[in-house]
């Protein structure tokens, strides 16, 4: 928006070599609320008088009280901030010198030497301090940049504008248009979307992928609109964009997740420093309500699937039950205790990198164990609960994340067990005799003839599914939680992407 | 902040103006509600419609709100929606 400043050669007097006196036009922008402006007003009066003597003028634009410039020849009310916006004013007072109607030079705040130089008035401001900082322009007040861009500028937003009739409620209009997941959405005005886009340096026009089921192109702008509706803050945008990009990776199988008769939904897990920076929850009530970042980031992904992709219940989404997790299921992994590495670190990321992992999940099933004090006992307690996912004999197309709660973590830490050790122990306990495997494609159909040959052969619960351990939840309460899902290697798998 | 201009969050494959529900190709077998908004003599118009429809073998249900200046109560609208396939509303004078 800043216009390029042009350097103009000051005409020289042919005899003396000193700068010739030329007519000058100045534009000053001030506000009464600024004490530096109050101090500068007598100075500006002198500038005006000098300019007029030379056949030029001073326009003085006041952002708050037009009476502040009473007595000046060309005092203008800029309470609508049109001039301030056009000249990209961020500080008052600002004094701009125009040449041929175009900005030549400007000074910001009060610096006597610079004011003397720009006006050519060698003794301007004698008796005043050499320097005094200016104040923030009203154009920089919270919310103002976006508001003024919508009012005066070219927003660059490409999405279709929908006009809501004057007497209608914009929240109801969003419902009527089918944009909501059932809960009220924040109406996506141009100003709100512009502010949301301030949360990312990526171009609004950038296409981040195509969203199933309709395979519609999704731009950063469309993400921002849905992020506004979901209740995001601009600083969530890097996480939101990465979560959507991860969900659109072929390995995740988003179409399968959204269209299935199963209850599963994308689960978004954040690792790394950004989780704390934006205030995500990894502790008490981690999978529940109450945290804005957790709720809004997960909800944005759901709204993008609905609004951009066209995935809606009763249409392509054929889920028999669904679950509350389909409003939003997003959290940060608990990385506080250094005795175990985080999920992202176990994949090879550095603790300084922030990542999003998207995996499918049905919701949560808790395990309760108030008794076990040894890691072996605790694993023996978990195993039947994990085995029961979908059916004790269901071994194909089933996978899970086990979220170990705080008190259960201590059992493993105190015994010196690593996460890998726990996983090995559980997978050993989750070997199932072939005789107990269900028939059909959830079980026996997925076994080789050799495996089926002996009913006492043991086959893994997660024959083709992934099983991962993470940490989350409050510190008090001997619980852990299983997040189960359909899918497996080569179909619907967890995916991880770095947030940049 | 003006709230009356919203940016479309969708892929913009459907029109901005929402289309009306399609008219049925036939009223045979449909339950037709006649909703009197309590304007003067609206009931005479609806009585005549009732007669014409009934003699042709259609199922008719009658409804009336208390006064034309009041919005129809939610319960009445819900009742009409649950009991009827089509509705004729007796408007104006």
Q: Tell me the mean pLDDT per 10 residues along chain A, length 500.
A: 40 46 85 97 96 94 96 96 96 95 95 96 94 96 93 92 92 96 98 96 96 94 98 98 96 88 94 98 97 98 97 91 96 96 98 97 95 97 98 96 96 96 98 96 94 96 96 94 92 94
A317 contacts: CB under 8 Å, gap ≥ 6: A258, A259, A311
**Per-residue pLDDT at B93:** 57
pLDDT tens digits, residue range B50-62? 999 999 999 999 9
Tracing tokens 């023996």 back to the chain, one arrives at A380
In three-state secondary structure terms, B85 is: coil
**Per-residue pLDDT at A382:** 98
- Global ipTM: 0.77
| Alpha carbon B39 to its chain's center | 16
Q: Region B68-90: what's the mean pLDDT?
A: 90
**Per-residue pLDDT at A491:** 85
Contact call for B6 and A173, based on CB within 8 A: yes
Contact call for A159 and B7, based on CB within 8 A: yes
**A190 contact residues in B (CB cutoff 8 A):** 5, 7
Distances in whole angstroms, Cα of residue A424 to Cα of each of A215, A305, A408, A460: 40, 36, 17, 12
**Per-residue pLDDT at B92:** 65
Query: What is the set of domains in chain A, with CATH numbers?
Result: 25-140 (3.40.30.10), 172-498 (no CATH)
**Per-residue pLDDT at A425:** 98
List the single residue in A163, A174, A310 with the smallest CB-CB distance to B11. Answer: A310
Contact assessment for residue A258 and residue A309, using Cβ atoms and an 8 Å cutoff: yes
**Per-residue pLDDT at A260:** 86
**Per-residue pLDDT at B38:** 86
In whole angstroms, what is the distance from residue A399 CA to residue A489 CA?
9
SS3 content of chain A, % helix, strand, coil (to 5): 35, 20, 45
Best probe of the B interface among A166, A217, A222, A244, by most B CBs < 10 A, is A222
Which tokens go with A336?
A: 């506080």
Strand partners, A321: none
List the single residue in B6, B11, B13 with the smallest CB-CB distance to A187. Answer: B6
* Residue A308 touches chain B, beta carbons under 8 Å: yes
Contact assessment for residue A220 and residue A202, using Cβ atoms and an 8 Å cutoff: yes
* Residue A301 touches chain B, beta carbons under 8 Å: no
Strand partners, A471: A404
In three-state secondary structure terms, A356 is: strand
Select from B90, B73, B84 the least CA-distant residue to B35: B90
**Per-residue pLDDT at B1:** 62
Distances in whole angstroms, Cα of residue A408 to Cα of each of A284, A290, A376, A402: 14, 24, 12, 12
Complete edge-to-edge strand list for the sheet that includes strand B86-90: B59-64, B31-36, B86-90
Number of H helices, E strands in chain B: 2, 4
* Residue A173 touches chain B, beta carbons under 8 Å: yes
**Per-residue pLDDT at A9:** 41
**Per-residue pLDDT at A118:** 95
Contact call for B9 and A163, based on CB within 8 A: no
A414 contacts: CB under 8 Å, gap ≥ 6: none
């Amino acid at each position: 928006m800043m216009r390029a400043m042009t350097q103009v050669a000051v005409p020289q007097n042919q005899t003396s070599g000193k700068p010739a006196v030329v007519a000058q036009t100045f534009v000053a922008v001030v506000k009464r609320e600024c004490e530096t402006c109050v101090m500068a007003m007598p100075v500006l009066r002198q500038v005006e008088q000098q300019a007029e003597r030379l056949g030029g003028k001073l326009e003085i634009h006041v952002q708050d009280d037009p009476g502040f410039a009473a007595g000046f020849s060309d005092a203008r009310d800029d309470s609508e901030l049109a001039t301030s916006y056009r000249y990209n004013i961020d500080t008052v007072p600002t004094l701009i010198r125009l040449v041929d109607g175009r900005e030549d030079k400007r000074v910001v705040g009060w610096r006597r030497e610079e004011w003397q130089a720009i006006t050519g008035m060698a003794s301007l401001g004698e008796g005043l301090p050499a320097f005094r900082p200016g104040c923030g322009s009203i154009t920089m007040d919270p919310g103002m940049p976006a508001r003024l861009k919508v009012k005066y500028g070219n927003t660059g937003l490409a999405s279709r504008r929908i006009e809501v009739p004057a007497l209608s409620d914009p929240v109801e209009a969003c419902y009527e248009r089918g944009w909501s997941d059932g809960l009220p959405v924040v109406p996506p005005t141009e100003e709100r979307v512009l502010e949301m886009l301030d949360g990312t340096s990526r171009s609004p026009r950038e296409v981040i992928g195509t969203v199933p089921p309709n395979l519609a192109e999704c731009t950063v702008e469309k993400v921002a609109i849905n992020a506004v509706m979901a209740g995001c803050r601009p600083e969530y945008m890097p996480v939101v964009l990465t979560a959507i990009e991860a969900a659109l990776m072929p390995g995740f199988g988003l179409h399968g997740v959204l269209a299935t008769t199963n209850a599963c939904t994308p689960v978004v897990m954040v690792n790394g420093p950004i989780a704390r920076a934006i205030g995500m929850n990894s502790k008490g009530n981690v999978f529940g309500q109450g945290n804005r970042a957790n709720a809004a980031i997960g909800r944005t992904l759901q709204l993008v699937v609905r609004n951009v992709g066209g995935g809606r219940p009763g249409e392509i989404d054929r889920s028999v039950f669904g679950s509350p997790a389909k409003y939003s299921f997003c959290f940060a992994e608990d990385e506080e205790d250094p005795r175990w590495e985080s999920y992202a670190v176990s994949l090879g990321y550095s603790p300084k990198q922030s990542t999003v992992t998207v995996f499918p999940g049905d919701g949560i099933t808790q395990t309760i164990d108030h008794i076990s004090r040894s890691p072996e006992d605790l694993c023996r307690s978990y195993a039947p609960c994990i085995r029961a996912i979908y059916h004790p004999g269901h071994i194909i197309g089933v996978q899970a994340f086990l979220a170990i709660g705080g008190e259960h973590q201590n059992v493993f830490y105190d015994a010196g067990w690593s996460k890998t050790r726990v996983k090995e122990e559980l997978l050993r306990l989750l070997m199932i005799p072939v005789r107990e495997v269900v028939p059909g494609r959830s079980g026996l159909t997925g076994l080789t003839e050799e495996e089926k040959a002996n009913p006492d052969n043991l086959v893994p619960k997660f024959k083709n599914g992934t099983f991962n351990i993470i940490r989350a939840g409050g510190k008090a309460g001997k619980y852990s939680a299983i997040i189960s899902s359909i899918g497996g290697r080569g179909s619907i798998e967890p995916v991880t992407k770095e947030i940049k | 902040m003006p709230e009356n201009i919203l940016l479309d969050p969708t892929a913009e494959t459907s029109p901005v103006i929402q289309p009306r529900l399609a008219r049925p190709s036939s009223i045979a077998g449909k339950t037709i509600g006649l909703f009197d908004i309590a304007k003067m003599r609206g009931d005479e118009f609806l009585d005549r419609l009732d007669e014409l429809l009934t003699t042709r073998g259609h199922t008719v249900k009658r409804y009336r709100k208390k006064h034309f200046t009041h919005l129809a109560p939610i319960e009445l609208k819900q009742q009409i929606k649950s009991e009827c396939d089509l509705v004729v509303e007796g408007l104006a004078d």
